[in-house]
Homo-oligomer: A and B are copies of this chain.
Amino acid sequence: MLRAAAAADAGDRRVGDRVVGMSATTANMYRMVSIAEAQETVLKAISPLPVMSIGLMDAMGYILGKNVIAREPLPPFPASIKDGYAVVSSDGIGDYDVAFEALAGTAAGHLKAGTVAYITTGAPLPHGADAVVQIENTEKLPPGPEGQQRVRIVKPAKGPRDDVRALGSDIAAGEVVLAAGSLIGAAEIGLLATVGRATVKVRRKALVAVLSTGDELVEPDQDALGPGQIRDANRFMLAAAARSAGCNVVDLGIARDDPAQVEAKFQEALSTGVEVLLTSGGVSVGDRDFIKPILERQGTVHFGKVRMKPGKPLTFATINATASRSSSGQLVVFGLPGNPVSSIVTFNLVVLPALRAMAGWPEPRLRRVHARTQTDIKLDPERPEYHRVSLHWHRTGESAGELAAASTGGQISSRLLSMRSANALLELPAAQGVLPAGSIVSALLIDDLGSMPVPEGIPMIVPAL
């Protein structure tokens, strides 16, 4: 809570003194911004972090910092696509001596017309040969008079290049195989290995600190709750969410509702070189806000109130970190609301895009899809609402191929169960009345749909010709 000393610090930005036993803070002076403006403000205030080198095996989930160009062609030689015989295609069907074996990992031999070479998949095509006949189109013959292996070509090559991968046909020398800004997944790791990048240049990810504030909070491992106490959930949830985004997380613990204690935690974040600080609790739209005065003293508060439900008290500030070890030269602070649903929803909508932008994502925002509502939903007349839903796929009937959005139930911002198995947030407009079941609305994906059921046997629909 805000004690007298801190209130005095807030100085002449104070706007009132209505609260019994409390001094007012500056919370009320903040204009309520739209969620779009909030997102834009955040993305403008931050920059991508520096590029660093990382071992290939650890590059998963990072954004490539520089174009990667293939130095050599792939395959680096004309290669057989099949197990079979390398031939001169114009030789056609007939019985041939097998001159030699062309095996993977060996140099290409020299084939004379009128003979063939046994060849394995991926092996270099011998010089002189121009096609491969797969083994299924041949018959082994008894050895020749000098003991040489012989084979009958039953079905000839279709022509030059049959069953041959041309030099550079998969990747041309000089080709950009991965552009700066690419998100590195397993296939990209494979590509990088293929072109010989054992280390790669990627954007760093932010070092994130989490801090919970509140006199009522205790650690989850505290067995019995005292009077008025609840367990801290936000710190663990936000740390997990930040780690999911690939960030390392510094745990600053719980601060009491005491500005001096909170300020000490801020100093700890600054001296640790943290780039992003997530606080939860201590911001409000009323007069009990003691986070904003600290932020105003130490840096710039860019917004302190957002027209969204849940999440109205969301606060965003930057602190120039001359005294800090942060590589970005500033500490970015998100003051998240204390209600757990508000804190994880604002994390997804505003913090996650910021972490992605710092990590170099060209498009850091959440992915948006269409979904059809399954039940009537009461709208909020004043604020756009982010209604938590579980998406699944309609399989049959008129709605086949659509995403169906099932509400996760009561949406009060203290009820974390509304986030359980939620994989999307419906973007509901501020409006009077009820949105009827069956409406199509946009939804923001907040997980990888891993919890979505798997519909069996989706029927294929081919358009009439």
Residues of A within 8 A of B (CB): 1, 17-22, 56-57, 59-60, 72, 74-77, 79, 81-83, 98, 101, 103-108, 118, 120-124, 135, 139-140, 149, 151, 165, 169-171, 177-178, 182-183, 185-198, 214-217, 219-223, 225-241, 243-244, 251, 257, 284, 286-288, 338, 340, 344, 347, 363, 365-370, 393, 400-402, 412, 414-417, 419-422, 429, 435-436, 438-442, 445, 447-455, 457-458, 460-463, 465
Contact = CB atoms under 8 A, between A and B. Distances in A.
Contacts of A185: 240, 244, 447
Contacts of A103: 1, 215
A122 to B, nearest CB: 6
Given A1-B103, A236-B57, A419 B190 contact: yes
Contact of A171 (B222, B229, B417): B417
22 contacts: A1-B120, A17-B140, A20-B118, A21-B118, A57-B239, A72-B225, A81-B412, A82-B286, A124-B227, A190-B233, A190-B416, A191-B419, A192-B220, A192-B236, A193-B231, A193-B232, A198-B221, A363-B454, A370-B458, A436-B463, A439-B462, A448-B450
Nearest to A439: B462
A238 B57 CA distance: 10
Copies of this chain, count? 2
Given A170-B416, A244-B60, A344 B186 contact: yes
Contact of A21 (B107, B149, B365): B149
Given A287-B135, A365-B454, A448-B448, A21 B101 contact: yes
A295 to B, nearest CB: 20
A318 to B, nearest CB: 25
Contact of A233 (B59, B83, B191, B460): B191
A281 to B, nearest CB: 9
Nearest to A21: B101
A74 to B, nearest CB: 7
Given A21-B118, A101-B21, A189-B237, A438 B420 contact: no
A228 B462 contact: no
Interface of chain A: mostly helix, strand, loop or mixed? loop
A445 B451 contact: no
Given A149-B20, A368-B458, A462-B439, A124 B221 contact: no
A53 to B, nearest CB: 13
Contact of A370 (B182, B241, B401): B401
A440 B461 contact: yes
A220 B71 CA distance: 13
Nearest to A165: B414
